[in-house]
Amino acid sequence: MNVPTVESFGERVLHPAVEELIDLVAELKQEGFNMVVDLTAVDYLSFTTRTDLPENVNPERFEVVISMINHQSRERLRLRVQIQEENPVVPSLFDLYPGTEAMEREVFDMFGINFSDHPDLTRILMPEDWVGHPLRKDFSVGQIPVQFKASKAKR
């Protein structure tokens, strides 16, 4: 598959489009990348211009970052998928890598990025009735009063 590729810190970094992700990951699995080490997201709300992307990759507000490893060749690689703010949806990797289930739920919970075909896309860290996504840069940071129990000092 021909996707924009760069090298960063001695690691290959691939920049697939959302619609290329599943085919690329299936191909990488065939090549021996048998483990997704991490799957997370970044909100670039405050960084509209980024110079670290290949010139034919359009920067979006959100980015899903997937780290993979090939244990036989000891090679690591990273996938950086640009996600539109207006339609924050990316296909789930669950069918190829079941271990991504909780990581995708965390990204959904914290950033509001949806994973299509995920078996149980529900909150994992925040209460079910929580409104919003705390790791979005536009999420209001309020103050929660700390409540202490009354101290019963011995005399």
Given a cut of 80, whether residue 152 has pLDDT beyond it is no
The answer to whether residue 106 is domain-embedded is yes
Given a cut of 80, whether residue 108 has pLDDT beyond it is yes
pLDDT digits (tens, 9 = 90+) for 6-29: 999 989 999 999 999 999 999 999
Q: What is the pLDDT of residue 93?
A: 98
Cβ–Cβ under 8 Å, residues 11 and 73: no
The answer to whether residue 61 is domain-embedded is yes
pLDDT digits (tens, 9 = 90+) for 55-94: 999 999 999 999 999 999 999 999 999 999 999 999 999 9
The answer to whether residue 12 is domain-embedded is yes
Q: What CATH number is associated with residue 34?
A: 3.30.460.80
Q: What is the pLDDT of residue 48?
A: 75
pLDDT category, 122, cuts 50, 70, 90?
A: very high
Question: Around Cβ 76, how many Cβ atoms within 10 Å?
Answer: 16
The answer to whether residue 99 is domain-embedded is yes
Number of domains in the chain: 1
Which structural domain, as residue segments, surrounds residue 17? Answer: 5-116
The answer to whether residue 140 is domain-embedded is no
The answer to whether residue 145 is domain-embedded is no
The answer to whether residue 52 is domain-embedded is yes
The answer to whether residue 40 is domain-embedded is yes
pLDDT category, 50, cuts 50, 70, 90?
A: confident
Model pTM? 0.89
Q: What is the pLDDT of residue 154?
A: 59
Q: What is the pLDDT of residue 20?
A: 97
| Cα–Cα distance for residue pair 123/67, rounded to 1 Å | 22
| Cα–Cα distance for residue pair 53/41, rounded to 1 Å | 16
Cβ–Cβ under 8 Å, residues 111 and 103: no
